[in-house]
């Protein structure tokens, strides 16, 4: 651990020396502090922030707190490993495309778009201006309501994107479940003709499907009539990211 790092840890009260020489400014540490230094280094390797490390040290290394925090890091690292695994797979596929003499974005030609008539649906919904990171929280609230009130789903859950320009940090998103029962908390989604594409894979690649749909709508002479929506044919909580299936719809008119 460098002297610069030790000085900084002293300044932020993360690791105070046992004694500081006022004349020379030298900091002195006890042998017993080596264990704390090793713990700090270990937690940094686990991607703990300095604030998180400070919380652990101030708790006098509460083992239950430490276990909780490490479990949280494990979950995040596992998610990152999955994301990097998918990224590596896509990178290898792109290299094969280039080595085959094809353009990198030629995969867009494989995305199929067609017209589909979506029937009228009665929706139980939550509509919020939200960050996509909060999506799971609101979806959980909606599904809990379905279970608590013994409502009858008639189709898979869906999301409707009302903002004209999607911003992952702040967009008008409606999360909905089609149900049989009509209540004061439901609304009708009218029957509509839609440009439709089914996508299988990680949600991170959905932008390609949206791009293809928008291009197809323009080329075919249609106009977007209402907010686009997604219908989820698989549950991401129990499905591998590369196996997710989502149907993307754009209501259209001539």
Percent of the chain at pLDDT > 70 equals 100
pLDDT of residue 106: 83
Q: Which of the residue ranges 44-48, 52-56, 113-117, 199-203 would you say has the lowest mean pLDDT? A: 199-203
Tell me the average pLDDT of the chain.
93
pLDDT in tens, 181-200: 999 999 999 999 999 999 99
Question: Is 90 exceeded by the pLDDT of residue 224?
Answer: yes
Looking at residues 204-220, what average pLDDT do you find? 92
pLDDT in tens, 145-158: 999 999 999 999 99
User: Six-digit token pair at 56?
Assistant: 């652990």
pLDDT in tens, 58-81: 998 789 999 999 999 999 999 899
**Residue 120: band (very low, low, confident or very high) from pLDDT cuts 50, 70, 90:** very high
Looking at residues 99-113, what average pLDDT do you find? 88
Cα–Cα nearest to 253, from 212, 225, 218: 225
Percent of the chain at pLDDT > 90 equals 78
CA dihedral 112, 117, 123, 127 (to 10 degrees): 50
pLDDT of residue 128: 96
CA atoms of 61 and 197, how far apart (whole Å): 52
pLDDT in tens, 7-32: 999 999 999 999 999 898 889 999 98
| 52-73 b/e (C-beta count within 10 Å ≥ 16 → b) | bbbebbeeeeeeeeeeebeeee
Question: Is 90 exceeded by the pLDDT of residue 246?
Answer: yes
DSSP collapsed to 3 states, the chain: CCHHHHHHHHHCCCCCCCEECCCCCCEECCHHHHHHHHHHHHHHHCCCCHHHHHHHHHCCCCHHHHHHHHHHHHHHHHHHHHHHHHHHHHHHHHHHHHHCCCCHHHHHHHCCCEEEEECCEEEEEEEEEECHHHHHHHHHHHHHHHHHCCCCECCCCEEEECCCCCCCCCEEEEEEEEECCCCCCEEEECCEEEEEEEEECCHHHHHHHHHHHHHHHHHCCCEECCCCEEEECCCCCCCCHHHCEEEEEEEEEC
Looking at residues 164-187, what average pLDDT do you find? 94
pLDDT of residue 204: 80
Q: Looking at per-residue confidence, does 121 or 205 come out higher?
A: 121
pLDDT of residue 143: 96
150 neighbors 206 (Cβ within 8 angstroms): no
Quote the pTM value: 0.70
Pairing of strands 19-20, 27-28: antiparallel
Rg of the chain in Å (alpha carbons): 26
User: Six-digit token pair at 161?
Assistant: 């994107």
Contacts of 226 (CB under 8 A, 6+ apart): 192, 251
């Amino acid at each position: 651990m460098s002297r610069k790092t030790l000085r900084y840890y002293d300044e932020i009260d993360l690791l105070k020396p046992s004694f500081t020489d006022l004349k020379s400014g030298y900091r002195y540490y006890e042998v017993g502090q080596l264990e704390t230094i090793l713990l700090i280094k270990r937690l940094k390797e686990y991607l703990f922030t300095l604030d998180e490390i400070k919380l652990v040290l101030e708790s006098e290394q509460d083992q239950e707190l430490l276990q909780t925090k490490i479990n949280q890091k494990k979950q995040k690292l596992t998610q990152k490993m999955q994301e990097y695994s998918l990224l590596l797979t896509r990178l290898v596929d792109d290299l094969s495309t280039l080595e085959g003499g094809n353009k990198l974005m030629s995969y867009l030609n494989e995305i199929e778009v067609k017209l589909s008539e979506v029937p009228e649906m009665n929706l139980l919904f939550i509509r919020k201006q939200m960050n996509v990171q909060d999506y799971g929280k609101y979806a959980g609230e909606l599904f809990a309501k379905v279970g608590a009130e013994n409502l009858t789903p008639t189709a898979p859950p869906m999301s409707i994107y009302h903002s004209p320009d999607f911003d992952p940090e702040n967009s008008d998103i409606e999360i909905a479940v089609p149900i049989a029962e009509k209540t004061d908390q439901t609304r009708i989604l009218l029957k509509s003709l839609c440009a439709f594409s089914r996508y299988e894979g990680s949600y991170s690649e959905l932008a390609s499907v949206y791009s293809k749909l928008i291009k197809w709508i323009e080329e075919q002479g249609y106009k977007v009539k209402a907010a686009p929506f997604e219908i989820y044919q698989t549950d991401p909580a129990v499905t591998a990211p590369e196996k997710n299936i989502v149907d993307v719809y754009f209501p259209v008119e001539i």
